[in-house]
Amino acid sequence: MSNKVKLTREEQTLLERALEAMRYAHVIWGFPVGAAVLGEDNLDYIGCNVESDVSGLGICAERCAIDHAVLHGNRRIRKIAITSESKAVRGLRPCGACLQYVKDFSQGDVKIITATSKDGRILPESVDRRTIREMLPLPFEIDLGLKLSQIAKKFEIAGIPWVVVSGAAVHLWTSRREITDVDILVPEEDVPKVGVLFDTEGKSWKAPRGTSFGVALRGFHIVGKVMVDEECRFVMDEEIVRRACPKKLFNIEVRVASVEDNIALKAMLQRGPDVGKRDKDDILLLKETHRDIDLQYLRRRLEVCNAVERTHAFLRSCGISI
Ligand SMILES: [Zn+2]
C-alpha cells in the first residue's frame, strides 16, 4: 500500500459510493464490504456482501455490484472501487473469484481501487489502485478463435458482409497491439438479422453514451453503427467493403477494414485510457507502420462521416494533416 495514490474525482466518487454501499452489507460470519462499479453508461452501481447461514453461500460485494450493473444493461464495467473496515485482512483486495468476474465484465484494463475505512470515512493512506491485468495476469479466457469461426460461418450462410474494425484491426495491421475483444462492422440494416442469428446469447446492444449499436457477444461486438452524435456517424458502405483486405485472425480468414477507415473511426471516437481505450496510440501505431496512408481517401471518409471538423485537431496532434 502506498500513500501516494492520487485518485481522480471520478475514482474518489466511486470510492465514496462503495462506502455508502457497505452500510447495506449483510454480515453473519465475516465483515462488511462495499463496492461500486462504473458502468459503460457512465453511471455507478453499488453492491455489498450478502452472507448466508449456509456457509459458502452468499456473494461478495464486488460481484453484487457487477450484477447490479448488468441488471441495468451494462455488459462491461469501466472501474471498480471497494472498501471495508476490517482489520482482519492484510491490504484489502478482491478474492480470486471476484477478480475473474471483474475480468469477465472488463472493458480494457479496468482499474481496481481499494481502500480501508474507519468510522464511515475512507482512510486516504490506505488507498491503492491497480489494474485487473496486474492483479489477475493469467485469467480464464474463452477461445476467441473458435467463436470467430462460428461467427464467420453464420455470416457466410446469411450472406452478411462484415469487416473487422478498431482494436483487432490495429492488431492485424501492425502486429504490435494485443487483442482485448473483436469489433466487427456489418451493414446497419443487417443488425436485426444478426440479432436473430445469435438469438441464444446476443441481445441488441448499445455502447456507453450511445456510441455503438449492434449485438454484443462474449469477446465480440458486432456493430451496425458507430456514432459520436446524431450527425457524426460511421456506417458500412460499399467502399469500406471494397477497401477491406483479407487477413487471418486466430487462423480464421477475415476481412479487415483499411488503415484509413480505422484511423477515421478512431479519430472520431478519441477515447483515452480513462475509459480503457487508446484511440490516439492506435492511430500513431497505424501511422508509424504505414507510410502510404491515402490522405485523400481518409478525408473523404471523414466527410462521409461528417467528422472533418471534429477530427482535424486530433489528427494533427497525431501528425496527420488532412
Ligand atoms: Zn470476492
Amino acid at position 150, single letter: Q
The percent helix, strand, coil of the chain (3-state, each to 5) is 40, 25, 35
Q: Is 244 left (phi over 0), alpha (psi -120 to 50) or beta?
A: beta
pTM score: 0.71
Cα–Cα dist 234/320, whole Å: 20
Would you say 183 and 170 are in contact if contact means Cβ atoms under 8 Å apart? Answer: no
Distance 299 CA to ligand 1 centre (A): 49
**What 8-state DSSP symbol labels residue 29?**
S
Distance 18 CA to ligand 1 centre (A): 14
> Is-catalytic flag, 62?
yes
CATH code of the domain made up of 144-317? 3.30.460.40
Would you say 135 and 94 are in contact if contact means Cβ atoms under 8 Å apart? Answer: yes
CATH code of the domain made up of 9-135? 3.40.140.10
Would you say 184 and 212 are in contact if contact means Cβ atoms under 8 Å apart? Answer: no
Active-site residue, from 11, 16, 40, 62: 62
234 phi, psi to nearest 5 deg: -115, 110
Confidence (pLDDT) at 145:
92
Distance 96 CA to ligand 1 centre (A): 7
The CA–CA distances, whole Å, from 43 to 13, 17, 40, 211 equal 11, 11, 7, 15
Distance 101 CA to ligand 1 centre (A): 9
Domain boundaries, the chain: 9-135, 144-317
pLDDT along the chain (322 residues), means of 10: 77 97 96 95 95 93 97 88 86 94 87 95 94 94 89 95 96 89 92 80 58 79 89 95 97 96 96 80 95 96 96 95 88
Confidence (pLDDT) at 207:
64
Would you say 106 and 73 are in contact if contact means Cβ atoms under 8 Å apart? Answer: no
The CA–CA distances, whole Å, from 86 to 93, 116, 118 equal 12, 7, 9
The neighbouring-strand residues paired with 37 are 45, 80
Distance 217 CA to ligand 1 centre (A): 25
Distance 30 CA to ligand 1 centre (A): 12
